[in-house]
Chains A and B, each alone.
Chain A
């Protein structure tokens, strides 16, 4: 598949039958980026959020619940690991699975804040993410039904995957990767953002970048 003029040179290939996990320059870049942010999520001290008191010049620092932060950190690391899987998978089913996992962990990161508005945002996003899962697996199933394999390596350059399956995959990723918009609605202004909320943005953008590579390749 590296004959295709899309993603640059091959760096590493790991075969499991017809399922071939591969690292190109492109996927390696995404992988390293996700790894760096997982390390940051593990070692970084969360920000102490300040807010403005309306009508005055005063600012105040919000207290952070350690219990919630521990849960957010766990979810952020899980989200990072799922992202690693999504960007390195050579199989449409595994890609869909890891992407769905990213959606679930993103809900967890948002829901780890005891605030009515934030939880409401998590609930809304959860519904979108669940609906998106249908499209995601529908895309993979359509590809399997049409081509007889889910291996990106096997399907590369053949153009056999129907346009509808590609559109389903993109719609699925858009739904799962919609998180930053829900976060912007409430979470960022009411909860500590770095480094846990940032993992939501990292994972969302990386799966978006990966699905573009996949639809161009297959």
Chain B
């Protein structure tokens, strides 16, 4: 499993590059090469690293390590068929790392990113709706059981389409340049990551690459089922490109609209799950 982490990081970074390329092409720009994010990460790894005098140490550094650790754990959970509830926990803990990044630097821009991160906590609610829905349909929260269920009953993408939409929105809320990316909006520089440069930024890029890889893999496993690795990667790529289309066509929402939209989606899903539970 550990030997798979490195390829997952590289594929995740490549996905980020493809994401930027697709958005650029849709918007009529040439865009960067698709390996740009890999080069970025390598570049940051060798750039001068510094810690602001105002930072809370060792929190400033620790939070980067936590970010990498939780997504490495998530990778293990998804590919060992572990509990979906644990994946949900990782997703929530990621929110704490987002807060921590912004709060630990002492920078006002980082702090504004952290505040927006608190406000956008609604992005976790659709994931809870996903988990509840999957539990109602399959009777299990173990990813291995859910993939086995799909081998017998067919993909949940067809059988439980609204739940797949909820998970899709969860992934969309974590994509760069997306409608819900309010914590890294340009009016607050780089938001909660403003002060993390050099090797700290490289660490964050690695963590976020793993995050993208894990979330896309989880989507494919949960709603299409277990596939051979090359088909799995292809399915993840298709999901990613569809997300890039949404990001390219949708303006960034205001913090209020982002929260309101995610809450409405969760409300609709709650009704769907209750109906599903009652009829089922």
The residue in chain A whose Cβ has the minimal distance to the Cβ of B116 is: A184
- Is A29's CB under 8 angstroms from B135's CB? no
- Give A33 to B118 CA distance when docked, in angstroms: 19
The residue in chain A whose Cβ has the minimal distance to the Cβ of B80 is: A8
Number of interchain pairs (Cβ within 8 Å):
125
**Which residues of A from 191 to 217 have beta carbons under 8 Å from B?**
192-195, 197-198, 201-202, 205, 208-209, 212-213, 216
Q: What's the minimum C-beta distance from A40 to chain B, rounded to whole angstroms?
A: 6
| CB within 8 Å for A194 and B104 given contacts A48-B53, A50-B54, A205-B95 | yes
- Is A8's CB under 8 angstroms from B86's CB? yes
| CB within 8 Å for A184 and B115 given contacts A44-B56, A198-B99 | yes
- Is A45's CB under 8 angstroms from B57's CB? yes
- Is A5's CB under 8 angstroms from B86's CB? no
**Which residues of A from 21 to 57 have beta carbons under 8 Å from B?**
25-26, 29-30, 33, 36, 40, 43-52
Residues of A within 8 Å of B114, CB to CB, are 188, 193
- Is A30's CB under 8 angstroms from B89's CB? yes
Among the 9-residue stretches B139-147, B155-163, B202-210, the one with 4 or more Cβ atoms under 8 Å from chain A is B139-147
Q: Is the interface of A mostly helix, strand, loop or mixed?
A: helix
By size class, the interface of chain A is: 35 or more
| CB within 8 Å for A7 and B62 given contacts A61-B54, A198-B96 | no
- Interface flags, B113-142, vs A, CB<8A=1, else 0: 011001101000000100000010001111
By size class, the interface of chain B is: 35 or more
Can you name 6 extra interface pairs (CB under 8 A) apart from A25-B83, A47-B55, A212-B85?
Answer: A5-B139, A7-B83, A181-B119, A198-B104, A209-B89, A212-B128
Q: List 27 A-B contacts (CB under 8 A).
A: A5-B142, A5-B145, A7-B85, A8-B82, A25-B83, A26-B89, A29-B89, A30-B89, A33-B93, A44-B59, A44-B62, A45-B57, A47-B59, A49-B54, A50-B106, A51-B108, A59-B108, A180-B99, A180-B121, A183-B118, A184-B115, A184-B119, A188-B111, A189-B111, A195-B56, A198-B59, A216-B85
**A residues in contact (CB < 8 Å) with B:** 5-8, 25-26, 29-30, 33, 36, 40, 43-52, 59, 61, 180-181, 183-184, 188-189, 192-195, 197-198, 201-202, 205, 208-209, 212-213, 216
